[in-house]
């Protein structure tokens, strides 16, 4: 069973590294099922599985961080397209419209 989990962790990590996020929908449930059927393993096997799981978790955290950054950037671009947000002398928020790009003027 540890070989199956090792293979699933490798596939999961590879999917994250290559951006094949659609494959995660199949791999995660398979990994959970394999984990629930995990036989007793010796210390060496458990240590190897833990190291591989840690590497995979690190990749997943990096991917999540990248996705969050991309979402923030899309929001920034959208806000910039609406105009410049500033404050008037009374402290009230004001948005100064910007001219649309020439491709949108017509």
Task: Tell me, yes or no, whether 105 lies in a domain.
Answer: no
Contact between residue 8 and residue 15 where contact means Cβ atoms under 8 Å apart: no
33, part of any domain: yes
Domain that holds residue 9: 2-83
Confidence of residue 66 (pLDDT cuts 50, 70, 90): very high
1 pLDDT tier (thresholds 50, 70, 90): low
Question: Could you tell me which of 6, 80, 78 has the C-alpha nearest to residue 44?
Answer: 6
pLDDT attached to residue 103: 64
CA angle 55, 61, 66 (to 5 degrees): 130
Instruction: Kindly state whether residue 70 falls inside one of the protein's structural domains.
Output: yes
Q: Is residue 36 part of a domain?
A: yes
CB 67 within 8 A of CB 19: no
Tokens of 56: 């995979």
- Specify if 43 maps to a domain: yes
- Find the Cα–Cα–Cα–Cα dihedral 53, 59, 65, 70, rounded to 10°: -150
Q: Is residue 104 very low, low, confident or very high in pLDDT (cuts 50, 70, 90)?
A: low
Distance between CA 58 and CA 33 in Å, rounded?
A: 21
What's the average model confidence in pLDDT over 48-76? Answer: 94
| Lowest-pLDDT choice from 1-5, 50-54, 90-94, 99-103 | 99-103
Residue 92 included in any domain: no
Q: Has residue 93 been placed in a domain? A: no
Are the beta carbons of 28 and 16 closer than 8 angstroms?
no
Segment 66-79 shows an average pLDDT of 93
Give the number of domains in the chain: 1
Mean pLDDT for the chain overall:
86
Neighbouring CB atoms inside 10 A of 104's CB total: 8
pLDDT of residue 105: 53
The gap from C-alpha 42 to its chain's centroid, in whole angstroms, comes to: 33
pLDDT at 56: 93
């Amino acid at each position: 069973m540890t070989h199956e989990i090792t293979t699933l962790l490798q596939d999961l990590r590879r999917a994250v590294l290559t951006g094949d996020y659609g494959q995660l929908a199949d791999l995660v449930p398979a990994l959970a099922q394999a984990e629930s059927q995990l036989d007793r393993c010796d210390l060496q096997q458990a240590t190897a599985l833990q190291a591989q799981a840690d590497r995979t978790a690190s990749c997943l955290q990096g991917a999540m961080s990248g996705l969050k950054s991309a979402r923030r950037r899309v929001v920034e671009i959208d806000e910039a397209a609406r105009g410049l947000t500033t404050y008037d002398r009374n402290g009230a928020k004001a948005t100064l419209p910007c001219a649309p790009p020439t491709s949108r003027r017509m």
